[in-house]
Amino acid sequence: MPTPASAAPEGLSRRTFWILLALAVLSIAAGIGLREPTPPDEPRFVLAAKHMVESGQWLFPHRGSELYAEKPPTFMWLQAASYEVVRNWRIAFLLPSLLSALLVLWLVHDLGKRLWNEQTGRYAALAVFVALQFGLMAKRAQIDITVVGMMTLSLWGLLRHLLLGPDWRALWLGCFAAGLGTVTKGVGFLPLLVLVPWLVLRLAHGPKPEWSGANLGRSALGVLFFALGAGVWVFPMAYAAYAGSDPALQRYANEILFRQTATRYANAWHHVKPWWYFGQVILTLWLPLSWLLPWLAPAWWRELKRFDARYVLLLGWALLVLLFFSASPGKREVYILPALPAFALAAAPLLPGLLQRKGVRRLLLGYLFAFAAVFLLGSLAALTGHGHWADKQASMRGMDASTVRAMLLWLLALGIAWLAAALYGWRRKTWPAVVAATAVLWIIFGIGLTPTLTADSSARALMEKVGRRIGPGAELGMVGWKEQNLLQADRPARDFGFKKSWQQQWAGAEAWLAEKPEKRWVFVLDEAMSPCADPGQVVAIGQSNRRNWLLVPGTAWKPGCRTPELAGQAAYEIDDNDD
């Protein structure tokens, strides 16, 4: 690898910062309105949000005809509210993620400026942005970036009070945001753990906390504000469920309040990973920042030995979050994302000095050149017929040749852009080159890659094919379906349950087909196919999201036949989040 030119000062001027920040904001927003919701999580949230808008019932989210009890409805409320404003689902479903990501960047910049100085705030915001996981989640309509926004707001308020206060309004805001985050995703209370390193530091190295009556009273109000945040949904939902007589609502409340929280944490039934799993997530998805740990760790240790409260609280809280998620057997890479803003804030004061070091600059340039090589060589190999990875993906996803070629051309453009950024960083300033390369990555991802793949990855192309095949006057039912199928259907579709067994779904479909066999069809996963249908009339309609799908006309059903218990559903459910 070439040796970088003699180090130029890496200080971030006000003008340079605002240019880079504008580029970051543009890259996060790029592509909104150009794609459909894609698995694994986006279609189910949009389904629930659409049901809220269409039914007017916002308290209990639905997935098709069933109650959806895996997540609280706050994120879906935000999507539904966004639709009420913009009246376009392609825009509305991504707006909460965009606004949450921008909120995180602002909060990190503001907190860095308050705890250190303006320069630190600038580096902190951009350090969050360049972490690959942040951009990836900011471009997705998943709950995680929204809960990170609420948790960062909570941490912002708590740290203002604990480090710069007393600031009781900031404390109460932090507690309210933690409560609201908890009913967005159960782990939203985690910012309150920052009180642990604060209390340890105060007890060990004074001044001791003042436990006056006034302070205790104001602190107790924090509990009230947390309850108010969580009570936005918990109180009316619990009252409607337990004060009423509908057993389905009571089962929903028990599921969401207990099984999907404490039980899921202590005895996870899927996504089981080893205790060290998040170490590899940090090293890979938080790069390039995580690759600076060999330089950051000794500097952090020196600050911790001086009992600098800023580092003790930021790093202590990030460590507690890491330990909290590592202790649970169930792990997904997104779980650790809330710790990224604290990690970036702790790194930001050190970045200007580290960027003067040749070793750090070489590492960042290596990161740029390596990814440029991957994008360039991978796309060129596939375009010239020497790479099989693109053919494999096309086969698994049901993509046609024109889609594959467009995808490869976008990847080629991305490789050229990253190579240009690497050369700029080698000759001039490394940090702006890293920020610009990251921005280009998410711009091309937003306006090029995801719109190119949206028809196949969202199942829109498949469901359009289904609509053409059955004709405009036919009715459509679904068995063994996925959320994207129901969402992308070109007409109101009848489902017979989602979590019910395939046998139970077919029991409902059998009676439905028998009512109008000449007019009704069932869309079904090939693995869920019933032996009660005449194979000669069954239509293999296509492949999508690594699965094969069939159409069963009502005339194909054998009179009097009942579908037996079908094998394979357990494996299908385990793979439910892996589309």
Closest CA to 551 of 479, 461, 458, 493: 479
Which pTM does this prediction carry?
A: 0.94
The pLDDT value recorded for residue 570 is 55
Write the pLDDT tens digit of every residue in 203-236.
887 776 666 667 788 889 999 999 999 999 999 9
Q: Would the pLDDT of 1 be above 60?
A: no
Is residue 352 within 8 A of residue 11, CB to CB? The reply is yes
Q: Residue 400 burial by CB count (10 A; 0-12/13-18/19+): exposed, middle or buried?
A: exposed
Residue 574 has pLDDT above 70, yes or no: no
**Would you say how long the chain is, in residues?**
579
Residue closest to 173 by CA, chosen among 200, 191, 198, 195: 191
Q: Which helix (H) or strand (E) holds 525?
A: strand 520-525
pLDDT given for residue 41 in this prediction: 93
Task: Dump pLDDT digits (tens) for 26-73.
Answer: 999 999 999 999 998 999 999 999 999 999 999 999 999 999 999 999
Q: Which two tokens stand for residue 573?
A: 């459910």
pLDDT value of residue 204: 84
pLDDT mean across residues, the chain = 92
Q: What six digits make up the tokens of 554?
A: 């009502």
Residue pair 562/571 in contact (Cβ under 8 Å)? The answer is no
579 has a pLDDT exceeding 70? no
The β-bridge partners of 493 are 476
Is 90 in contact with 36 (CB distance < 8 Å)? yes
The per-residue pLDDT for range 485-531, each reduced to its tens digit, is 999 999 999 999 999 999 999 999 999 999 999 999 999 999 999 99
Q: Are strands 520-525 and 475-479 parallel, antiparallel or unpaired?
A: parallel
535 contact partners, CB below 8 Å, separation of at least 6: none
